[in-house]
Amino acid sequence: MKKGVYFYLQLIFTLVVCAFLIVPIFMSITAGLTNNYFIGIKSGFTFRWVIQVWSLYSDTIWLTMKIALITTVINLCVGVPCAYYLARTRTKFSGFLDECLTLPIAIPGMAIALGLISVYGGISDFRMSWLFILVGHVIFTLPFMVKSVLAVLQSINFRLLEEGAASLGASFWQRFFHVIVPNCKTGIVSGILMTLTLSAGEFNLTWMLHTPITKTLPVGLADSYASMRLEVSSAYTLIFLGMILPLLVAAQWLNRKPKPKA
């Protein structure tokens, strides 16, 4: 196809859109490493702000990692079996269940958080602990794990594989762990990556559920945006991006389209 003037117009437009998305990321990275952002890059680079963020907020970073990892483990134990059940059963009940489990995607985090507070807010030991945030994160991310595994199960003929294994004498649990789980590996891995990224970045729910002693990274970010100088906020954002970008790259690499064979 000839690349005419329309090609270049569209290219410029696309580049502008990409710049709109990417420029602020770079701005916040440089601001986090600059001595004085108001003077500019000529004031020199420094790790001072990153170190300051670490001393102020390192507990939020550890808590975020802890919650993200435990959420992932729970999602694995609960979500994978659930996806298998939903793929295998086609009844009214399973349809209803599917709907209920997907609902947290559609309901804003705020509403889920309010609901949790209204029911369990009175149990102060639970309310004050990080487990309260964990519960919110599991509710919010579980549907993504289930959907991701379910998509893989629906694309393969797992019944045939299971029948084969059953005819060779494999028990139900043997079939589940040695036939089903290995075959939906890609769905499980992308579900894990999604859970980790979503949990690490969750704010809407967490802001309502957190207490002064249970602050996660995004909560700390909001805190620093409101009260800290721009360089500290930027350095904090930089640390956050450093945490989730590897997950994003891994997810992209996983979802890349297989190159067409010649």
Q: Which whole-number Å values give the CA distances from 115 to 52, 100, 150, in the listed order?
A: 36, 15, 28
CA–centroid distance for 96 within its chain: 25
Does 91 contact other proteins by CB under 8 A? no
Q: Which is nearer to other proteins, 5 or 55 (CB)?
A: 5
The residue range among 44-52, 62-70, 182-190, 240-248 that interacts with other proteins, by the rule CB under 8 A, is 240-248
Does 88 contact other proteins by CB under 8 A? yes
Q: Which two tokens stand for residue 124?
A: 């102060």
Among positions 90, 119, 212, 260, the unique one binding other proteins when judged by CB under 8 A: 119
Minimum distance, C-beta of residue 257 to other proteins, in the bound complex (Å): 10
Minimum distance, C-beta of residue 213 to other proteins, in the bound complex (Å): 18
Q: Which is nearer to other proteins, 51 or 245 (CB)?
A: 245
Q: Which two tokens stand for residue 236?
A: 């904090």
| Contact map string, positions 133 to 162, toward other proteins, x by CB under 8 A | --x--xx--x-x-xx-----------x--x
Burial of 117 (0-12, 13-18, 19+ CB in 10 A): middle
Does 44 contact other proteins by CB under 8 A? no
SS3 content of the chain, % helix, strand, coil (to 5): 80, 0, 15
List beta partners, residue 170. none
Judged by CB under 8 A, the chain residues 157 through 196 that form the site for other proteins are 159, 162-164, 166-167, 171-173, 176
Does 20 contact other proteins by CB under 8 A? yes
Q: Which two tokens stand for residue 168?
A: 């060779």
3-class SS letters over 72-135: HHHHHHHHHHHHHHHHHCCCHHHHHHHHHHHHHHHCCHHHHHHHHHHHHCCCHHHHHCHHHHHH
Minimum distance, C-beta of residue 63 to other proteins, in the bound complex (Å): 16
Does 68 contact other proteins by CB under 8 A? no
Q: Are 53 and 232 in contact (CB under 8 A)?
A: yes
Does 231 contact other proteins by CB under 8 A? no
Minimum distance, C-beta of residue 152 to other proteins, in the bound complex (Å): 14
Among positions 61, 71, 202, 215, the unique one binding other proteins when judged by CB under 8 A: 202
